[in-house]
Amino acid sequence: MASAIAALRRGIDLGLTHIDTAEMYGSGAAETMIGEAIEGRRDEVFLVSKVLPSNASKRSTLAACENSLTRLRTDRLDCYLLHWRGAHPLEETIAAFDALVRDGKILSWGVSNFDVADLEEVLAIAGAGHPACNQVLYHLQERAIEHTVLPWCTRHGTAVVAYTPFGQSRTPYDARTRQGRLLEEIAAAHQATARQVALRFLLRQPEVFVIPKASTIAHVAENAGALTLELNDAELARIDAAFPRGRPRRGLPMI
Ligand SMILES: NC(=O)c1ccc[n+]([C@@H]2O[C@H](COP(=O)([O-])OP(=O)(O)OC[C@H]3O[C@@H](n4cnc5c(N)ncnc54)[C@H](OP(=O)(O)O)[C@@H]3O)[C@@H](O)[C@H]2O)c1
């Protein structure tokens, strides 16, 4: 706990100011820990939390947000997300989000794990400029969003927030594999690391943000190094070929 707080604080020092959490994580414990980490530094961070689909009725969304604000020891969220689509009508959740914006408790709202049809529904209900973001699974070995979700978000000014940006496998960072050797080779040309290259590839698109989780200061410092890394077109093309996007599939991948 103390080391996770120290890691978060070092991340803020290094410019990793987008802090992502959810009422679901540790059943509120993650928000409580983040509240401690950002004490006195609230204005330096972009703070995001998420309401569970089971709490996404109008009344329960309002209550869930209050609870998140209390645990985070703050008076506002920079963005509040519906964690994934559930059974409550989107109209209700969006009505709650609108009320929270009016009250200054959230400054913007978005969604997570939304496919194009869901995004279209949000747009039809809330109008242009919504949702502010769509947080989705996106990493070198899972590029499904590039087929339709990412282009939709680009067209509508919706930010794409890539979760699990390192993926669920260590293979891309294992220099004994072909993919690992490529990332290492490109990294070496920039005095960088394979993980920094992986993050930078996702960030080649201006509408994409990444939210790597790191609980040690060493990992935080390494990940912050991706902020200043620049890959050229030839390097991006080699990564693109080594980690193919694959064919369009039905359904949006999520974990
Ligand atoms: N919206 C959703 O449905 C959803 C779903 C999943 C995740 N998320 C969000 O996305 C965030 C990140 O996703 P994630 O935790 O699944 O995956 P991730 O950020 O891709 O990977 C986290 C893992 O990578 C390790 N790591 C981080 N930096 C490293 C480095 N420089 N070198 C080696 N290992 C490193 C971490 O280890 P250490 O902890 O030891 O540093 C941890 O084991 C979560 O915290 C959450 O906020 C959202």
Rounded average pLDDT over 33-54? 98
Asked if residue 75 has pLDDT above 90, the reply is yes
Instruction: Kindly report the backbone phi and psi dihedral angles of residue 101, in degrees, each rounded to the nearest multiple of 5, phi listed first.
Output: -65, -45
Asked if residue 1 has pLDDT above 90, the reply is no
Q: Quick one: pLDDT band at residue 217, thresholds 50, 70, 90?
A: very high
Strands 109-112 and 159-163 come out as: unpaired
The protein residue whose alpha carbon is closest to atom 10 in ligand 1 is 163
- The count of residues in the chain is 255
* Closest by Cα among 67, 22, 17 to 43: 17
Rounded average pLDDT over 205-224? 97
Rounded average pLDDT over 25-34? 98
Residues 111, 112, 114, CA angle at the centre, nearest 5°? Answer: 90
Average pLDDT across the chain, whole number: 97
Contact 205, 138 (CB under 8 A): no
DSSP code of 4? H
Q: Which atom of ligand 1 is nearest to the CA of 167?
A: 20
Cis peptide before 248 (omega within 30 of 0): no
CA distance 10 to 220: 7
3-state SS assignment for residue 111: strand
Encoded tokens for 94:
């969006």
**129 CA to centre of ligand 1 in angstroms:** 29
The protein residue whose alpha carbon is closest to atom 14 in ligand 1 is 164
- 81: CB partners within 8 A, 6+ apart: 22, 48, 49, 50, 51, 109, 110, 111, 112, 133, 135
| Bridge partners, residue 82, by sequence | 51, 111
Q: Among the residues of 29-162, which ranges form H helices? A: 29-37, 58-72, 90-102, 116-126, 149-156
Contact 220, 13 (CB under 8 A): no
Which residues have C-beta atoms less than 6 Å from ligand 1? Answer: 20, 83, 112-113, 135, 163-166, 195, 211-216, 219, 222-223, 254-255
**127 CA to centre of ligand 1 in angstroms:** 33
Which among 49, 138, 164 is the best mutation to test ligand 1's pocket, defined by most ligand atoms within 8 Å of the CB? Answer: 164
Q: Which atom of ligand 1 is nearest to the CA of 196?
A: 31
Asked if residue 13 has pLDDT above 90, the reply is yes
Rounded average pLDDT over 109-134? 98
pLDDT at residue number 244: 97
Rounded average pLDDT over 116-136? 98
Q: Which residue has the tokens 């000014």?
A: 157
Q: Quick one: pLDDT band at residue 231, thresholds 50, 70, 90?
A: very high
Contact 252, 217 (CB under 8 A): no
- CA 167 vs. chain centroid, Å, equals 13
Helix H, strand E, coil C: the string for 22-51 is CCCHHHHHHHHHHHHHCCCCHHHCEEEEEE
Contact 73, 39 (CB under 8 A): yes
Catalytic residues: 25
